[in-house]
Every structure is written in structure tokens, then in C-alpha cells.
Amino acid sequence: MIRQITCDGTQEYAFLKEMTHRSGETNRKVTQIVTEIIDTVREGGDEAVKAYTKKFDGNLPQYYEVPRDIINDALTEADQDFVTALLNAQANIADFHNRQKPQGFTDAQPNGVILGQRVRGLERVGLYVPGGTAAYPSSVLMNAIPAKIAGVKEIIMVTPPCKDGTPNKDILVAAAICGVDRVFLSGGAQAIAALAYGTEEIPKVDKIVGPGNIFVATAKKLLYGVVDIDMIAGPSEILVLADETADPKYVAADLMSQAEHDELASAVLVTTDPTLPAKVEAEVARQLTYLSRKEIIEKSLSGYGAILVARDRTQAVELANAIAPEHLEVHMKNPLELIGSLDNAGSVFLGAYASEPLGDYYAGPNHVLPTSGTARFFSPLGVNSFLKRSSYIYYTEDALRQAKDDIVLIADREGLTAHANAIKVRFGEEG
């Protein structure tokens, strides 16, 4: 089911090149459809959004904006064990992200110059949450909590309604717990366009975050610049580094935990133990028999899964950095020793008991992570994702006099004489 590759300096890199084509370019037909939706919503506002909802979902939801009492009722009527689990996760996520808060600064110098940086949260953020049968309340927690910690003043959530036109109760519970301000029952590219441009009822936001299908992802990509976005996410992926100490049962389970997301998901094992591949394959076959998304897992593993046999720990780490995976698990002896060497990964899970779902739901670090090798230069979603920074400058006359000749020289060298003049006029040197 899973291809096996011996790392010889050629085969493994041929596989990596193949993986770069996994998600491919955005389908041109999808781009054309999404562009039309965006233009229509920009002109038609809420009526256009509702028309697309009726077209794609078959009917309009029970209400466009979910009343606050419905959100509150969802929390009070929810299963208490579920609420407790979400509250425990919320506490962990909040504790982790509170440590990310940066500080502004003021640098008052002896010559009277004052320089500084001001940091504050964005005014309004839009949160897209998949709804219906594919509902992820964990996405609400991972996006809304750092936004609140950053000081975002208002969070507007859009989520598709269930087939009966009602909101998904689990999502409303998470929204209530996290303090989401307003919730609209709208999904797809039309909801993204409404957030980006604003309508009569849906407020215009400064940034849009949250996962979605190819139409949602394409809309976010096309509207980047009109608003900020979190990232352009590709299919989910996991890379497991393992040696002879790894338990094949755990490795197989963790590979499949990501393979079940999507047929395009990638689950890769890099091992220094040549006996481990057969054991992992046997465990995959055994565990598949009782998993609900068996067909998706099988297609994912056969299409985009692989077991790479590395000659040693050093080569295994080199491959991990080359792949730059979204999730990186380390099932190796003394895994903490590798923290300083694993430079390219969205989130690193160290040891046999740091299974990837721990990060998805509970531990605290964010589960919105860079994919498709972009962990080489992108970072996970966090408090900084919801902040804006501006600098400020104060100079006295004497301080500017000391600097003016350097400024004028640089401006003249660049041919920007008006820049130079703006300095010189202050000292009677214009012309």
C-alpha cells in the first residue's frame, strides 16, 4: 500500500519533487467560478450572498445572522463533557498564546530623539469555519483565542448551515466559549467575499482566517490584498522520524490520523531502522479494519504516502528539513536532542506520547500550520498574526541638524531632490 524508498541521494529527492506537484496550481475553472462569485457579491451584497447560498445549498438557512440567544442556548444545552473538554483545551491554548504577546517600546535618546514602536490588535477579523457534517469546533478555538489575546476588537464568524438550515451546535458552543461577536450562516467563496468587501449586514474585516474547501481557499487567495489572510493552505501532511525504538503501532496510527483528512493528504515515514517498514505496514493493515474513513486513508497512503529508509539519524534530519512538513513527529531515542536541528516544520511532536492529534485539539500550540513545504519561511498562526505594528519618530531641531548632511547626501545620490529639499528648507538651505 505504501511505497518504500531507500535513500541513496537520488530516489528520495525524486519523491520530494513529485510531492511538490501534489496540490498543483489552483484549477483554472475554480478560479473563474470564484472570480465571478466575488464580483457578484461585491456588487450585490447580501442579496447575492443569499442567492448563492440558495443555489449551492438548496434553500436559505433559518436565519442569516444567528441571534445571540441561540448561541448562548447552544452552550447551556450542550453536553457537559464536551463543554468541559473544550474549556480545558481553551485554557491550554490561551496559556500558550499569552506567552506570545510582544511589547511595544520607546527609545528616548540623550539628544532628545524619541523612537518607538506601537503594537495593537486588528480592528475586526473574519473567521471562516466549515459547517454541516464537516464541522470543526477546534478551528474556532485555534483562530479566535489568539485573536482575542492580540486585542482584536471584533470577530465575525461565517459558517455554512446544516442541511436543515440550522447552525451546527458544536460550532456555536465553541463560538460562545471563545467570545466570537457575531455569527452568520453563510459558506463558500460568497462568504469570503462578503467579509472582504462588507455588505449591508456582514461587516468588512481586516483579515480572514480559517480553513475551507478549494473554493474558499481560492477566494482567500484572490482577495489577498483587499484583506489580509492567514495563509494559503494545501492538503494536510505528516512526517514521522523513527528509529529502532519506535512502536510500529503508534507510528501507523499517527500516519493514518493525517491520511484520513483527504485523498491528497501526505503521510511519510523516514526511518533509520530497515525492519520498521514491514511492521508499520502490518499495523496499518490491521488498524484500517476498524477505521471509518478507510477508503480515504488507503487512497492517501497509496498516492502520497511513502516510507523512506535513511542510512542514519543525520540523513533523516536532512530529509525532514528538505520536506518542511506541516506536522513532524519524532519517534527516536532522546528526541529532545533534535530540537535544535529540526529547522523546517510547522509543529514538532517529540516522543511516543506526543501524537499529532494532541496538537490538533488540546496541547496549546496552534494547529493552523504552513503546508506544502512553506514551513521553510512561514510560521504557525499565533498572536502576531492578529497584530499590526507602527513606528514613531520625534527629532529636535539640533538632532536633525546633526543628521541633515547625511540625509541630503543619500537623497541626492538617489536623485530624489525633493526629499533633500524637505530637510534643507528647515535650515534655510533650500535651492
- What are the pLDDT digits (tens) for 360-414? 999 999 999 999 889 999 999 999 999 999 999 999 999 999 999 999 999 999 9
pLDDT reading at 22 higher than 80: no
pLDDT greater than 80 at residue 85: yes
- Mean pLDDT over 229-253 rounds to 94
Same-domain check for residues 178 and 284: no
Q: How many CB atoms lie within 10 A of CB 24?
A: 9
- According to the model, what pLDDT value does residue 366 have? 96
Task: Supply the pLDDT for residue 214.
Answer: 87
> How many CB atoms are closer than 10 A to CB 225?
8
Whether residue 331 lies in the annotated active site: no
- The pLDDT score that the predictor gives to residue 83 is 96
Task: Give the pLDDT of residue 24.
Answer: 54
Q: How high is the pLDDT of residue 18?
A: 81
Residue 248 and residue 223 in one domain: no
Residue 219's pLDDT is: 95
Cell (9 digits) for 214? 478549494
Q: What does the pLDDT average to over 259-272?
A: 93
This model's pTM is above 0.85: yes
Both 86 and 162 in one domain: the answer is yes
CA distance 271 to 136: 32
Shared-domain flag, residues 212 and 256: no
> If pLDDT is split at 50, 70 and 90, which confidence band does 260 have?
very high
From 229, 256, 286, give the residue that closes a domain: 229
Helix (H, G, I), strand (E, B) or coil at 6: strand
Which parts of 216-326 are beta strand (E)?
228-229, 237-242, 266-271, 306-309
Is 36 labeled as catalytic in the residue annotation? Answer: no
Please list the residues that pair with 306 across neighbouring strands: 3, 268
On average, the pLDDT of the chain sits at: 93
Choice between 9 and 305, residue whose per-residue pLDDT is larger: 305
Asked if the structure places residue 157 within a domain, the reply is: yes
- How would residue 48 be classed by pLDDT, with cut points 50, 70 and 90? very high
Q: pLDDT tens-digit profile of 189-206?
A: 999 999 999 999 999 999
Residue 26 predicted with pLDDT over 60: no
Q: 259 and 177 in one domain?
A: no
Please write the tens of the pLDDT for every residue from 121-134. 999 999 999 876 56
Residue 76 lies in a domain: yes
Q: Which of 97, 261, 327, 367 is catalytic?
A: 327
164 and 59 in a common domain: yes
Cell of 300: 492517501
Query: Which of 326, 329, 356, 367 does the annotation list as catalytic?
Result: 326
Q: Do the Cβ atoms of 38 and 189 come closer than 8 Å?
A: yes
Q: How far is CA 193 from the centre of its chain?
A: 19
Give pLDDT tens digits for 266-305: 999 999 999 999 999 999 999 999 999 999 999 999 999 9
Domain count, the chain: 3
Calculate the dihedral angle through the C-alpha atoms of 125, 126, 130, 131, rounding to the nearest 10 degrees.
110
pLDDT tier for residue 28 given thresholds of 50, 70 and 90: confident
Name the residue with higher pLDDT: 166 or 331.
Answer: 331
| 48 and 100 share one domain | yes
pLDDT class of 23 with cuts at 50, 70, 90:
low
Q: Residue 254 — pLDDT band, cuts 50, 70, 90?
A: very high
pLDDT at 25 over 60: no
Q: Are residues 179 and 45 in the same domain?
A: yes
Same domain, 285 and 224: no
* Residue 290 falls inside a structural domain: yes
Judge whether residue 428 has pLDDT over 80: yes
Q: Does residue 242 sit in the same domain as residue 223? A: no
Let me know whether 191 and 272 are in one domain: no
Give the number of other CB atoms < 10 A from CB of residue 11.
Answer: 13
Q: Given this model, what pLDDT does residue 132 score?
A: 61
What is the extent of the structural domain holding 418? Answer: 395-427
pLDDT band at 178 (very low <50, low <70, confident <90, very high): very high
* Judgement on whether residues 205 and 78 belong to the same structural domain of the protein: yes
Please give the average per-residue pLDDT across 332-348, as a whole number: 95
- The CATH number of the domain where 194 resides is what? 3.40.50.1980
In this structure, is residue 350 part of a structural domain?
no
The Cα-based distances of 35 to 28, 64, 368, 422 in angstroms read 10, 23, 26, 44
The pLDDT tens digits of the residues spanning 106-157 come to: 999 999 999 999 999 999 999 999 876 568 899 999 999 999 999 999 999 9
pLDDT at 430: 79
Which single residue is written with the C-alpha cell 524619541? 114
Domain-located, residue 361: no
Q: What span, in angstroms and rounded, lies between the C-alpha atoms of 71 and 210?
A: 20
Measuring CA to CA, which residue among 350, 331, 338, 268 is closest to residue 301? 268
